[in-house]
Structure 1
Amino acid sequence: MERITLQEFLSLPDHEQFEILENEGKFIEDRSDGNTKTEVYAIDRFFVEVEVNKTG
């Protein structure tokens, strides 16, 4: 993977960000709080948190 900066990542459309997470991100951990689950991924030199609503 070519190095990407946080600014470049944030400037991408959501679907491209998720594609990078799926293909290049390294899953670190998840945590739950009520109906929300937060997943943490490492991408190159930064981390990304993804909030998942458990209620669908």
Structure 2
Amino acid sequence: MPGQKGSRLFRPAVLEKLRATGIDYAQGYLTHRPAPIEELLSLGAADRETEDMRHCA
């Protein structure tokens, strides 16, 4: 199913298993650390996409 997301991602081995099962997106400490809302809002849409997909590509 397109658009499936894995969350609470902490370990690279879990990311690899998610990729193998067809998960499209991931979130958690592995993809980006928690940050103040001001920092997150200052990111441009392209920057967020690049950060998110860096670990999923």
Greater length-normalized contact order (CA 8 Å, ≥ 6 residues apart): 2
Asked if Structure 1 and Structure 2 have the same fold, meaning a TM-score greater than 0.5 normalized by the shorter chain, the answer is no
TM-score by length of 2: 0.30
Determine which structure has the larger helix proportion and give its number. 2
TM-score of the pair, normalised by structure 1: 0.30
